[in-house]
């Protein structure tokens, strides 16, 4: 009996990363006029990302970065590399679910994926 292959839970994140990305802390450090989604200021964007790293994520990538006149850049799209530690993973999924609920969506479920997509717009 042929088995139907399960979809790769990381496929959409890998596709986004393949189209171009920047490690978000480095991007925020290099681009002083950059912001994340609806977060109003560069300083607030940096603080927001620092709090995410405090949850134990190895890396966060900014994807689909939009460039504007005057050197400003913005993205509301993040690909988060998930930690291996179960407690840290739970914290990250809870954090992301709260953001999703603010936009009227359900949070993602941990199915062992390596990456998690979060939209801040």
Q: What is the pLDDT of residues 82-96, one digit of tens each?
A: 999 999 999 999 999
**Coarse DSSP helix, strand, coil percentages of the chain, rounded to the nearest 5 percent:** 40, 20, 40
pLDDT tens digits for 52-77? Answer: 999 999 999 999 999 999 989 999 99
Res. 4: pLDDT tops 90: no
Residue 17 maps to a domain:
yes
pLDDT tens digits for 6-30? Answer: 789 999 999 999 999 999 999 999 9
| Count of structural domains, the chain | 1
Q: Which residues pair with 74 in a beta bridge?
A: 35, 66
Residue 77 maps to a domain:
yes
Residue 2 maps to a domain:
no
Residue 102 maps to a domain:
yes
User: Whole-angstrom Cα distance, residue 38 to residue 121?
Assistant: 6
Residue 24 maps to a domain:
yes
pTM: 0.93
Phi, psi at 59, each rounded to 5°: -155, 150
How open is the CA angle 50-17-26, to the nearest 5 degrees?
Answer: 35
Which residues span the domain enclosing 48? Answer: 11-119
């Amino acid at each position: 009996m042929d088995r139907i292959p399960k979809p790769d839970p990381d496929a959409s994140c890998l596709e986004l990363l393949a189209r171009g990305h920047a490690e978000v802390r480095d991007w925020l450090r290099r681009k002083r006029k950059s912001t994340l989604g609806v977060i109003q200021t560069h300083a607030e964007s940096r603080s927001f990302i620092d709090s995410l790293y405090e949850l134990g994520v190895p890396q966060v990538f900014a994807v689909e970065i939009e460039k504007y006149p005057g050197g400003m850049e913005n993205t509301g799209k993040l690909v988060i590399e998930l930690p291996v530690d179960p407690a840290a993973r739970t914290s990250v999924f809870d954090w992301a679910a709260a953001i999703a609920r603010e936009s009227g969506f359900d949070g993602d479920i941990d199915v062992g994926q390596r990456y998690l997509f979060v939209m801040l717009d």
